[in-house]
Amino acid sequence: MFGSFAYYSLPAQRVSLESIVTSEWQKPGFVCKPLQKTTLHGLSTDWSFDECLANVIAPDTTNVNAATKHANVVHYDYNFASDGDSNKGVVSVYDVAYASSVLQKTNQASDDWKRDGYSCYPEPPYDNTFNVHYNHSECLDVVLPPSAATVQSQSPNGYGFSYHPFGNEFSLGYPCSASLVSRLLTAHSSCPIMPPCSGSCQCIYAKFLPSGAVINTWCDETKPYYVFGGGFYAGMQNMLDASGSITLDLAIKGWNDILNTQADQHGGFGNEFMCSFLKLNGNGFRCFDKPKPPATKEVAIQQYASEYPPETICAPLKLNSPFQCTRNVEVPAPTRLSLSVAAAQAVFALTGIALVALLRKLQMPSTTTSESLSTDGDLRSMMRKLRNEFHSTVDKLRTDQDQLRTGQDQLRAGQGTHEELIQKLLSKEGGR
């Protein structure tokens, strides 16, 4: 018995694996793993929550990549993990935002640019006065002031200098209209009128601005408004610019005069006036109840790092129940002693059975005893037979001992199953 107890006291025999099935994704002291696969942002996996945290790759220039989305607009997706080319986990802030967005495009269109609780942006392809992607609020912060980068000459196909609030690369400049001219002339009524020209031409009258640049009293609504020099005059039959040329520096000052003109009952002439044109877009406005998707890779990396940490990406795995939770537990000393006694009793019983069978064979009378034992050869033959039977009995005893160990292992496994059935039965009773 002491030998069997020593066997069950070995480190490998002192530990038993405990396993339970539960709907909870974690259990103190246990390692839990789902019993089935699930799809995590496109990735088919049977990761546990902790395994996911260890395998998610942080966003950087290698896994945040450009993707062409709705209306051929480029956005940036985050590939946080992959298992081959076809099994990838991808997060897209654009897809998330687009799924809950609302397209506003009505016949009236005057209020399509706004929606309570949403941020609205012109729907591409852009069809507004400046053909830009900004909405009204963004426009107020990105309008560029008059400078060499935004004021350009209209020569040789026009006269003076126009102002392009989003940069000279945009062909559409400061919009012109009859109402705009009327408002400017009224606002600058105290400024002198350009002297009328002489000769046979009919003159276009204009007014000086405080800087010395000139605004005229009419405009072509298909072209940008412009300022020109004080000596400019034009007629129906000929146009002369002998002494009225204007420098870029003076044109910039003239445009600053216009933008800083005092507001009237219709509003000002600066950013608010220009951005008001972005409240209309021929293709309507898409309104998002989530932050606007990033427009550059650098911004996308920052946004994914802040909004999609591993804990957020892996959170759906907590719902992938049922889970199998396991842990190693030490077999108590009384249990090891009980197993040792049972093993010793089994060995003793088998040994006793073998000895009794051997003795019975030795004591069994033979009808030919005198003949079979009459010679030394017969005696040796009998001894060999007894020896072989003894070895056979010992081998059987060893086999039975191995079967006993297998039965003990099955007993341990059955103990875990028994506990699991008890837990299920208790949970059903509690549900009633």
With 0-12 CB in 10 A as exposed, 13-18 as middle and 19+ as buried, what is 141? exposed
Residue 80 CA, chain-centre distance (Å), reads 7
Average pLDDT over every residue of 124-150? 91
Give the sheet arrangement for strand 151-153, strand by strand.
151-153, 161-163, 226-227
Q: Does residue 165 have a cis peptide bond before it, meaning omega lies within 30 degrees of 0?
A: no
Q: How far apart are CA 48 and CA 317, in angstroms?
A: 7
Q: DSSP for 305-357? A: HHH--HHHHHGGGGGS--EEEEEEEEPPHHHHHHHHHHHHHHHHHHHHHHHHH
Report the percent of the chain where pLDDT is more than 90: 40
Question: Residues 356, 359, 362, CA angle at the centre, nearest 5°?
Answer: 155
Higher pLDDT, 215 or 88: 88
Q: How far apart are CA 251 and CA 225, in angstroms?
A: 12
Higher pLDDT, 357 or 276: 276
User: Predicted confidence band at 360 (pLDDT cuts at 50, 70, 90)?
Assistant: confident
* pLDDT of 278 above 90: yes
Q: How far apart are CA 97 and CA 119, in angstroms?
A: 11
pLDDT given at position 243: 38
3-state helix, strand, coil in the chain (%, to 5): 40, 20, 40
* pLDDT of 87 above 70: yes
* pLDDT of 366 above 70: no
* pLDDT of 427 above 70: no
Query: What is the pLDDT of the chain when averaged over all its residues?
Result: 79
Half-sphere exposure for 31 (CA within 13 Å, toward CB): 7
Higher pLDDT, 85 or 364: 85
pLDDT given at position 71: 74
- Which of 232, 80, 76, 65 shows the shortest CA–CA distance to 154? 232
* pLDDT of 323 above 80: yes
Beta-strand pair 161-163/102-104:
unpaired
Higher pLDDT, 291 or 341: 291
Residue 259 CA, chain-centre distance (Å), reads 44
pTM: 0.59
pLDDT given at position 234: 41
Q: How far apart are CA 18 and CA 330, in angstroms?
A: 10
pLDDT given at position 400: 63
Name which of 56-60, 237-241, 290-294, 412-416 the model is least confident about: 237-241
- Asked whether 130 and 175 are in contact (CB, 8 A), the reply is no
For residue range 30-71, what is the model confidence (pLDDT) as tens digits? 999 999 999 999 999 999 999 999 999 999 999 999 998 877
